[in-house]
Structures are given as structure tokens and as C-alpha cells.
Structure 1
Amino acid sequence: MSYKKYKPYGGINIKDRQWPNKLIEKAPIWCSVDLRDGNQSLPIPMNVDEKVKLFKLLVAIGFKEIEVGFPSASNTEYQFLRTLIEDDLIPEDVTIQVLTQSREHLIKKTFEALKGAKKAIVHLYNSTSVLQRRVVFHKSKQEIIDIGVTGAKLLMKYKDKYPETDFSFEYSPESFTGTELEYSLQICEAILDVWKPTSSKKVILNLPSTVEMATPNIYADQIEWFCRNVKMRENIIISLHTHNDRGTCTAASELGILAGADRIEGTLFGNGERTGNLDLMTMALNMHVQGIDPKLDFSNLYEIVDIYELCTRMKVHERHPYAGKLVYTAFSGSHQDAIKKGLKALKDENNNYWDVPYLPIDPHDVGRDYEEVIRINSQSGKGGAAFIMENEFGFILPKAMQADFGNLVKNKTDLLGTELLGNQIYDLFEEEYLNLKSPNLLKNYTIQSVQNVETDENIVNIKALISVNGKEMNISGVGNGPVDAFFNALHKSNINGYNFISYDEHALGSGSNSKAATYIQIEYNDKRYFGVGVSANIDTASLNALFSAINRKS
């Protein structure tokens, strides 16, 4: 069996681990690496203009640390960094970060590219893993340490050549998850001995899962072990940079925060090598829905997605957490019914906390509309169509009518084999219920109302001109209200055999000039029919609703 050629990763010997008992309580330091790690993963890397556009988006979202590239790697990377500096595009509260290998000519060019920057993080890395030491570099542990230390010394050398810039340093033992813990600690502490961090000038140690090799709890154990054992911990910022080879980098980063990490590197929507990097948006909004301020603004996800897709030529999946076009959309009938009732309960109960079935976040928080929440196909039920009619068109269908209309919508979607859009649902509603004018049509009417104050009785006389199968006739009747009087007039005119079942009404909109919607249900030979009327006059709406119900039977 092919699985036998793989060996298990193994666990970490940390018996009194503390991270499982902790909760995330505040946002970490965020660092976007979209313009470096994300960019180098694109089939067509971004040009300078695209990188500038994405940089401005990252600033608008709220990132205070942004890795802008590998300026010694290509002319485009170099020119982009110069554009940011020379065009004064870097806000005072934003620190740019650049990446370099531990090679002097690359480090020299990196510092040249940073000339004139007010502050910058220089990110040094070299690979430390068992596998790469053996098959790529053919070097001993000490030789790998020497590479890192040499680079660290060169950073100190070139820093002094540019005193106008406030430099901070970051070191990554690349492929940390493939490196022995004790050895990763040894090389990081050798770097610290060169840089000599203080409480006012901390060093960033970045511990990347360059390749995700084990379950998230193992990564958390590694981070907690490292945080416990590294010297000068108070002068160090522990940073995480997780990849998604196992599909669990979000969990790994979150557990890594519990284990003691201070800082998170990642990209928008997880763009990065192979299966991608940590999605910063997902992790930030995961905090948001736990009542924690993530310190990043994703309140306009539509715009963010548009700019991201334009600059990277990548697409955000329709089921991507929070940002996907369908993640707030329910097609299932039972889900739609629960969402509809949940939104109503939220309004009725005036609850201070968001608590709606199947919606872990209020779509409004990320710039989405409730109109998108429920969409109708053959899997949908009565609640979905009723939700669309109320939220998009203002019709609050009586409960019994919801099932009646839901069946009509379901039959239509089955027939077409496609989703029904809101306007198509309204067209079906109008065709089936609203002011139906054939074979019976109300042309005009007059009402005389007499109120007996002594007996508190109301007597309504109605006279109406109607058309039946194209033939006009005058009818009249008496009742305790306009609908009752009209109903009695129809019976006298041999439009009979109907039982009155229910009446509902509400205003369509607000204000004194708003129209009324009325819903009347009748019964004929043990079958029930709904009709709907709409008019600025409540009596006209009611009489039209009654005729609509009778016409539906016909």
C-alpha cells in the first residue's frame, strides 16, 4: 500500500503544556506578505502599478507591517520599493518589510533599495531543516549556523551605512517544522547573540511552517516549547508564518497564538506557494465573531475582493470563508426557515448580541446585504420565498400562504431546473395572486357606512359595478364591513359557494401615502385559495384581494 512509504511526524515531549487552557483575547501584530510571498506564487507576478494598488489596499485595511518584496531578486521588486519611498506612499504608522537571503551582494542591494525609508524591517532567512541540510545544501549543522550568523553580521554592518532609517531585524529558520527543536533554538540564539535585542529594540524570530507537516496541536507544542526555552524572551517578538499543505494553517496559527506567539504573517485569501499561506482575513474575522477587535477593517469585502482579483488575477472561491459569494446564502428550505425566524427574533427581542441560525457573522459587518442571504432553487422551502417577498418587496405573507406560495415556487424551479432570482419570484407572485382581473373584475364601487353608537354595530352598504366574463353587472350587499358586504353582494349575484377563511393586511412601506397589501383566503369545495390586493385605499385592496382569490379558483 502506498501509504506505507510515509512516516508519522511524531509528537513533542511537553507534558505540562499550557496552550490548551488559553483563549485568544486580543489581536496579534499582523504582517501582510501579499506583495512578497503572495506575489512570487502568482503565475503572472504583479507589475509595479498593480503592487502599488494592492499596497494601498493593505494600508486601508489597517496593516501596520507590510512585507513589500525581495528587492534584490528582480528589477520589478527593486523599482516597486523605490516607488513607495520616492513617491512618499508609506504612511508614518506603517513599517515596510523586505526579505533577503544570507548573501552579501543580496544584502547590499537590499539596503540600497531601502535608502530614504523612515523605518523598515529587514527579514533574513536560511533553511535549517534536516531534509534540506542533507539533500540541498550538503552542509553540517554548524555550517548552516555559520550562514545565518554571517548574514546577521552583514545586516549590522549595512545598517550603520543608512543612519536615517530606523531598522528592525527579523530572522526565519526556514522550514522550522522540519528542523529539530533544539537545533532551531540553537541557531536562533546564535543570531540573537549578534543582534543583541533590548526591550526598546526587539528582534522578530519568525517560526514558519514552510511546509505544513503535522496537526495544528503539534505546531502549538513547538511554539510553546520554543517560547519557554529561548533566552531573552522579553526582548523577542515571536512570529508565525504558516502554510496550508494540510489545509489547517488557520488552526495552526490560532493555536500558535495560544502557545505564546505575538505576531502573524499571512496573505489576503490565503494566496501563497502550493496550497497557500494563512488567510489573514479569515483569522481576523474569526476574532471579530468572538467579540475581539481584530484591528483590521474588512467591512467592505466586495471592494477588497475586487481589487485583490484585479491585481493578482486570482479568484476568490464562492465558498471561501466570509468572502465567498455564497457563504451567506442558504438554498436549503430548513436553513432558510431558520434564518428567517432568527432574523425576526433578533429584531423582536432587541438582543444586543448577534444570534441567528446558520449565520455566524452579520453579513452587514462585511458589507453584504440580507437580500443575498436566501436564494431560491429546487431545494428551497416555504420560508425562503417568504423571506424574499418580505425583504426585497415588502410583502409579509401570512403563515398559511407561505406554504401555498412555496409550493408554487418549488414547482417552478423544478420545471426550469435553475435558481429563481428575486424579480422572477415576484413575477410568479404577481401572476398567481396579485389583483387578478379575470374572469371577474371590480370596476368601481361606493360604500355607505352607518355606525349605531348605542349598539356599537357597524352597517355597511356597498354598491359595485363588476364584470364577469366580460359582461358588466351591478351588485349590492350589506355587511358589518366592506369585505363582508361585498362577499354578501357576490352571493346574491350567484357568485357563491365560497366560505371566507382569513384576512390579513399591512402597509407596504411607511408614511401616510404608503399603499396597503391585503391577503384573503377563501374555501370552495374543501379547497382553499389565497388572493392579494394592493392599493392606496385599504377597501380597494381588500375587494381586489377577494376577487383575486375567487379568480384563482377559476
Structure 2
Amino acid sequence: MMLSDPAKKYRPFVAVDLPDRQWPSQRIETPPIWCSVDLRDGNQSLIDPMDHERKERLFDILLKVGFKQIEVGFPSASQTDFDFVRTLIEQDKIPEDVTIQVLTQARPHLIERTFEALKGAKNAIVHVYNATDPMFRRVVFNVDKSECVEIAVEATKQIRAQMEAAPETNWTFQYSPELFTTTEMDFAVEIVEAVMQAFEPTSDNRMIVNLPATVEVATPNNYADQIEWFCRHVKNRDHLIVSVHPHNDRGTGVAAAELTLMAGADRVEGTLFGNGERTGNVDIVTMAMNMYTQGVHPQLDFSNITPVMREVEYCNQLPVHPRHPYVGDLVFTAFSGSHQDAIKKGMTDRRANPEAVWDVPYLPIDPLDVGRSYEAVIRVNSQSGKGGVSYLLEQEHGIELPRRLSIEFSQVVQEVADRTGKEITSQMIYQAFADEYLEQQAPFTLINHRLSSEPDSPKVSLEAVVEENGQRQTLNGEGNGPLAAFIKALAAAGHDVEIIDYHEHSRGQGADAEAIAYVEVRIDGKAVFGVGNDESITSASMKGVLSAINRHYSNQEPAANVTAETLV
């Protein structure tokens, strides 16, 4: 049961005293050094850890995305990880410009086993850690500060000796004071400087100090304060690559990582889509694409994100949420009517200005940039409006509805959506449109027509054969154009029709192209829409008029009473 006064059980995080912090005014203008920990940190969080086949597939995906540093396992803790590392090295599966990283605890026999796994590697990072947080020192390991420092220093000396004994490998040393964010800041600096003294990095041969938010315990600004404070106070900062490893316990791992880059961090460890212990690691895909939206290339390639997502889902046996930023199956999909209308207008503007800076409502990036099409941007259900309906008809069926017709037809689709309670597909929308307008064949059907004109006369004569309730008749009329002549012919037959509005366009290309005409007419004082399509624009316009008459006589109420909601 939740406590009425949680302050009796939980204490607030004590912030770093940094009144002159500089990071809030900084911008991220270059990407960090990325290190994927999917194969280690991500793997250890899975219900069923990856077998060798899934590990290789995930490693290949990480290479294709463009990671140059990949933590491939914890070889001293797992035979599966040990064998996987050996396979990568012995079968020459690691590109020349890629560095593999392995993790080890600060224990002599585990360090020795780690170097056995790495024998023959071209480029390798040995990542050693020990817990520095006061609770862990007291409760878990029962060591004081000096003993904690000694553990880190002795491990560093052993690792340095092992590296010197194998000069054929290009080694990088990495040290993590585990639980950095809950460690006293002065002690974090003390233990890192002791490790530096033992390893002796230089500005030309820097070591990595990884400062993890092992458990996220405070708002992201506190992590940034800690990183800036550390970078200011540690000696020989230029001898270090400062790395962060944010977890996501508070749901702000991406924000925390971004702010630490502003605060001086050089490197980020995380996983694709944020998989990891508890609520996960920092999500590198989201973080990288956030940079991309600001005009900064992350130097990772997500041009075809869906196959990457599917492979990771297979390897982790975990689904990626459908609303996951930039990646999820529904992330570019709008159901809301107001959103759809704004997106439709934005895409229309984009087509008119294809070279302009991306500026489409509700879409922070162009879906095409990550290999998605526009087909799924707008989908229709009971929450949708005219914008979504007309967008799908235009994008997938080449039908460009005039505004008032769009409002009218959206109510037809709304009725279907309300009745079924389900998503309405673009094919269902097209079928509803065809049933409502294109296939209204009674009482009138156009059979054929013939046009003629006299030399030097602006008038056109029309002879049209129509069926009325199955009976053929010939109508004759004359006007300033084919449609005007057809209206005169109908009037002569006793059908008074007034044209209110007319639109036409071609649909399709080449031999398959056809004309489509949208006709709004007034019959008996009522406005009615009709639509016709045909290879001939003249036939299409005449069919459009008959469609409107048929809809009028079939007693189908046109949606003329437009409410404020339908305009949204």
C-alpha cells in the first residue's frame, strides 16, 4: 500500500552545489562516441539470454548501423559469452575499424579469464568496475573508502600488466565507479584519480572513465550537474574520455544522456530501443534521431529502421512498443481528425516546396528518412475527420476531393467507423466512396453521347443516350460547352438541374489514366454532390451530374448540415 507520507520512508536526492553551472546554455552540435551494450547489458536483462546465433545476428545489425564500439559480453562470467568473443576473433568477424569491449569485475581471476577471451583481438576495450556508492560499500561489500580504492587500483595494475604483455592488440582501458550518481562526488574524483595514477593515461593515450547512472535516482539536470562538477574537478581531464551509461528507472534516460553531453561527456553507452535491466538503458535510437531532427547527423545509419527493429525483436524476443519514438509501427500514424487535417495540409505544402526545411505538423522527421512510407501516416477510425479520409483517398487512390465534398463524405465514413468501432482501411474508404458516388446507377445511366458544333459558333450541340429506370431515351441540348449542353438537355426532358460547383482532374498515368469530375448541383432547392469517372472528361462530367441526380432521387440525405466538429 502506498504511504500517505512517503517522506517517512524515502529521502530526496541531495543535489550537487553548482550555482555557476554552464551546461544549460550549451548545444549538442556533434555526436558522441557511441558504444552499444546490447550484447552485454541488454542481454543480461532478457528472460531468455541470447544464444550464439542470435548474438551473431545482433552483432551484424550493430555493424550495419555503424557502431564502432560494441560491448560484446562478460566473458569471465559466462561460457556462452567467452565462446562468442572467441568466435568473433578467431573467425575474423570484427572489422578493422571496430573495437570490441568486454566487461569484468575487479577480481584477479576474472581479469585473467577476460584476457584469455581477448587473445588475438585487433582492438579491444577492457572495462572494469567496482561499486563506489556508500550503501554498497557498507551493505554489499563491507569495505571502507580506502579499501574500495585499493580494489580499483589493484585491478587497474593487473589489467595494465596484461595489456603490456600483449602489445599486438590495440588496447583501451575503461574504468567505471559503479553507482556513480549516488557516490559522494569528492570520493568519485578521488577513486578515478587513483585509477589514473595506476594506469598513467596521457592526452595521446586516453583512458575511458565511465560514470554510470546505474540506478536513475534524480531528475536529469542533477546528472548533468554531476558530470560538469566531475569534469571541473578531476585532474588531467584531457587524459580522459568521459563516458556516461544512463539507466531509465525514472523514465528520463534519454534526457539525462542529452544533458550530460551538454555538461561535457564525450561518450554514451546504451542499447538499441532502450532494452536493459529494470526499465532499461538509454535508448540510442531515440537519442540519435533526436540529434538528427536538430540537423546533427548522429553518425549512425537508421535509413531503414524497420528491418533493424524486427531483427532486434527477434534477437531479444521482446517487442518494440508500437508508439516507440521514431521506430514503432504507429509512431508516424495519426488517427485524430485535427492532426490528420494539419498533416494533410503540411504534406500539400511540402509537395509545393520539396527543397524547403522540413516543416510538417506533428511529424518531427520525414518518415522517408528512416525508410517508412507515407501510407501509414494517416489511418482512420472513429476519432478521425475529413482530413484523414481525403488524405488516404488522394495518396492511395488518386482522388482529390473538393473541400465541401470532403466534409460530406467524411460523415459517411464516420458512420461506418462508429458502427463498427474499428479502424477503417483505405480500401474500405474507397469502397464507401464508390458506393456513395461512383456506382449510383439508378434511375439514370449514361449510355453514350455525341458532340457537334458549327464552324465559327461558340455553341456545342449534344446528343446523349441515357437510361431512365431501364428505358432508353435520347436527350438533346445546346450550350457553351458539353456540360452546359447536357444541363440544357436534362432541362428539356423535365429535369431542372443547376450547377453550383465543378472540379476535375486526371487520375493515374499513361494508358491507365482516367478523368474524374466532382459536380455539385442544386435540385429542388437542395445541394447535392455527384462524382463521375471515365476515360473521357466529357463523359466523366456527365456521369457526375447523373450521380448527383441519382443520389437526390434515392432519398439519400446529403451531409449539408456541417457542424463545427466536421470542419476540424
TM-score normalised by length of structure 2:
0.95
Q: Which moved more, 1:166-175 or 1:513-522?
A: 513-522
Please tell me the residue identity of whatever aligns with 1:167: W
- Matched ranges for 1:413-424 at <5 A: 413-424=417-428
Assess, with a 3 A threshold, how the Cα gap between structure 1 residues 255 and 169 changes in structure 2: closer, same or farther: same
Which residue of structure 2 lines up, in the alignment, with residue 432 of structure 1?
436
Is 1:100–2:104 an aligned residue pair? yes
Which residue of structure 1 lines up, in the alignment, with residue 546 of structure 2?
547
Deviations 1:85-140, CA, capped at 9 Å, x for gaps: 11111111110000000111111111111111101000000011011111111110
SS of residue paired to 1:539 = helix
Superposition deviation, residue 527 in structure 1 = 2.5
Partners of 1:435 and 1:531 within 8 A in 2? no
Partners of 2:340 and 2:387 within 8 A in 1? yes
Task: State the distance in 1 between where 2:144 and 2:66 align.
Answer: 42
Partners of 1:435 and 1:545 within 8 A in 2? no
Superposition deviation, residue 160 in structure 1 = 2.6
Task: State the distance in 1 between where 2:174 and 2:524 align.
Answer: 82
Which residue of structure 2 lines up, in the alignment, with residue 273 of structure 1?
277
Superposition deviation, residue 180 in structure 1 = 0.2
Please tell me the residue identity of whatever aligns with 1:392: E
Is 1:182–2:181 an aligned residue pair? no
Deviations 1:4-51, CA, capped at 9 Å, x for gaps: 211110211112111011111110000000000000000000011100
Which residue of structure 2 lines up, in the alignment, with residue 526 of structure 1?
525
Partners of 2:490 and 2:497 within 8 A in 1? no
Partners of 1:435 and 1:547 within 8 A in 2? no
Q: Which moved more, 1:156-165 or 1:311-320?
A: 156-165
SS of residue paired to 1:433 = helix
| Stretches of structure 2 lacking an aligned partner (at least 5 in a row) | 554-568
Superposition deviation, residue 435 in structure 1 = 4.5
SS of residue paired to 1:317 = coil
Task: State the distance in 2 between where 1:322 and 1:342 align.
Answer: 19
- Matched ranges for 1:62-211 at <5 A: 62-211=66-215
Q: Which moved more, 1:244-253 or 1:480-489?
A: 480-489
Superposition deviation, residue 458 in structure 1 = 2.1
Please tell me the residue identity of whatever aligns with 1:528: A
Task: State the distance in 1 between where 2:525 and 2:30 align.
Answer: 63
Please tell me the residue identity of whatever aligns with 1:470: G
Which residue of structure 1 lines up, in the alignment, with residue 557 of structure 2?
none
Alpha carbon RMSD of aligned pairs, Å?
1.2
Superposition deviation, residue 151 in structure 1 = 0.7
Which residue of structure 1 lines up, in the alignment, with residue 565 of structure 2?
none
Task: State the distance in 1 between where 2:538 and 2:282 align.
Answer: 61
Which residue of structure 2 lines up, in the alignment, with residue 260 of structure 1?
264
- Matched ranges for 1:206-221 at <5 A: 206-221=210-225
Which residue of structure 2 lines up, in the alignment, with residue 500 of structure 1?
499
Which residue of structure 1 lines up, in the alignment, with residue 556 of structure 2?
none
SS of residue paired to 1:305 = helix
Deviations 1:319-354, CA, capped at 9 Å, x for gaps: 111111111111111111111111111222445200
Superposition deviation, residue 2 in structure 1 = 4.2
Please tell me the residue identity of whatever aligns with 2:106: S
Partners of 1:507 and 1:514 within 8 A in 2? yes
Which residue of structure 1 lines up, in the alignment, with residue 408 of structure 2?
404
- Matched ranges for 1:3-402 at <5 A: 3-4=6-7, 5-402=9-406
Deviations 1:342-373, CA, capped at 9 Å, x for gaps: 11112224452000111111111111111111
Task: State the distance in 2 between where 1:392 and 1:507 align.
Answer: 14
SS of residue paired to 1:238 = strand
Q: Which moved more, 1:407-416 or 1:345-354?
A: 345-354
Partners of 1:176 and 1:209 within 8 A in 2? yes
Superposition deviation, residue 511 in structure 1 = 4.2
Deviations 1:198-237, CA, capped at 9 Å, x for gaps: 1221100000000001111111000000001111111110
Deviations 1:62-83, CA, capped at 9 Å, x for gaps: 1100000101111110111111
Task: State the distance in 2 between where 1:12 and 1:327 align.
Answer: 37
Task: State the distance in 1 between where 2:512 and 2:254 align.
Answer: 53
Assess, with a 3 A threshold, how the Cα gap between structure 1 residues 29 and 451 changes in structure 2: closer, same or farther: farther
Partners of 2:490 and 2:496 within 8 A in 1? no
SS of residue paired to 2:430 = helix
Superposition deviation, residue 451 in structure 1 = 5.3
Deviations 1:266-296, CA, capped at 9 Å, x for gaps: 0011000000000000000000000001101
SS of residue paired to 1:531 = strand
Please tell me the residue identity of whatever aligns with 2:55: K
Task: State the distance in 2 between where 1:337 and 1:545 align.
Answer: 26
Partners of 1:451 and 1:459 within 8 A in 2? no
Task: State the distance in 1 between where 2:454 and 2:208 align.
Answer: 87
Please tell me the residue identity of whatever aligns with 1:3: P
Task: State the distance in 2 between where 1:522 and 1:386 align.
Answer: 21
Please tell me the residue identity of whatever aligns with 1:235: H
SS of residue paired to 1:371 = coil
SS of residue paired to 1:12 = coil
Partners of 1:339 and 1:358 within 8 A in 2? yes
Superposition deviation, residue 509 in structure 1 = 2.7
Task: State the distance in 1 between where 2:182 and 2:459 align.
Answer: 89
SS of residue paired to 1:122 = strand
Percent identity, aligned pairs only?
A: 52
Please tell me the residue identity of whatever aligns with 2:349: A
The runs of 4+ residues in structure 1 deviating greater than 4 Å are none
Partners of 2:521 and 2:527 within 8 A in 1? yes
Partners of 1:443 and 1:465 within 8 A in 2? yes
Task: State the distance in 1 between where 2:204 and 2:257 align.
Answer: 26
Q: Which moved more, 1:7-16 or 1:205-214?
A: 7-16
